[in-house]
Structure 1
Amino acid sequence: MTPFGAKLRALREAKGVTLTDLARALQVSPAYLSALEHGHRGRPSSGLIHQVNEYFGLIWDDAEEVARLARLSHPRVVVDTAGLSAEATALANRIAREIRRLPPETIAALEAVLDGAAAAEGQAARSRPQARSSSR
């Protein structure tokens, strides 16, 4: 399941809408919506995202969240490790092999590690002295 698929299913279930009824309203096939929900299809088009937001009456932050989840929802990810260390390439390959077996708690822990690393890098970048540009 993709992040967009999970959100779409949650929206449908919260409103009591069947897959068939939503498909009819969005003018797509129920099979397509099912494939989106189950992660068998890639990112939805911006037009479909707009239709989903309109159908469920989502605005502002909620609509942007649906669009953000759609951007994160490509089920076949390619990781380019060209130019990175051998360890980075080995890690990427190991994750690709083992991700199906990881329990949700482990995935959440890995995300927390990556979030912490990104936050630390952002903090380090903010504390570095800025290079001054001369206007001569």
Structure 2
Amino acid sequence: MTPFGARLRALRDARGVTLTDLAKALHVSPAYLSALEHGHRGRPSPGLIHQVNEFFGLIWDDAEDMVRLARVSHPRVVLDTAGLSPEATALANRLARDIRRLPPDAIAALLAILERAAPEA
């Protein structure tokens, strides 16, 4: 599941909206929304993000948060470490190999380290 997909599902659950009803309102298929929620589809388009924000009545910070979540929700990431240190390449390869085995607390710790070292813009 992607960050955007998790938030979309949480919004649907909190408001009692079915996948089918949301898909109909957004003019997309339920299969597409399900794939988006489960991380089997890439980032949603800016237009779809806007539609989701409008459907749920999200404004200001909540709407911006949906844009941010969509930006970090590509399920198949490619890392180019050309020109970086050997350690950076080793880290990228290790993460690619082991990410499925990391427990949630280890992922949270790694994200916290990265946020302290290089905060998102």
Q: So what's the TM-score if we normalise by structure 1?
A: 0.85
Aligned to 2:69: 69
Aligned to 2:58: 58
**Does the residue aligned with 1:41 lie in a helix, a strand or coil?**
coil
Cα deviation, 1:103-124, whole Å, max 9, x if unaligned, reads 11000010111122226xxxxx
Which structure is larger by alpha-carbon Rg, 1 or 2? Answer: 1
Give the whole-Å Cα distance in 2 for the aligned partners of 1:24 and 1:55.
Answer: 11
Give the whole-Å Cα distance in 1 for the aligned partners of 2:88 and 2:64.
Answer: 32
Give the whole-Å Cα distance in 2 for the aligned partners of 1:118 and 1:23.
Answer: 37
Q: Where do 4+ consecutive residues of structure 1 move more than 6 Å? A: none
How many pairs does the alignment contain? 119
Q: So what's the TM-score if we normalise by structure 2?
A: 0.95
Cα deviation, 1:16-63, whole Å, max 9, x if unaligned, reads 000001001111000000000000000001110010000000011110
Aligned to 1:132: none
Structure 1 stretches lacking a partner, 5+ long: 120-136
Structure 2 stretches lacking a partner, 5+ long: none
Aligned to 2:25: 25
Aligned to 1:108: 108
Identity fraction in percent: 82
Amino acid across the alignment from 1:32: Y
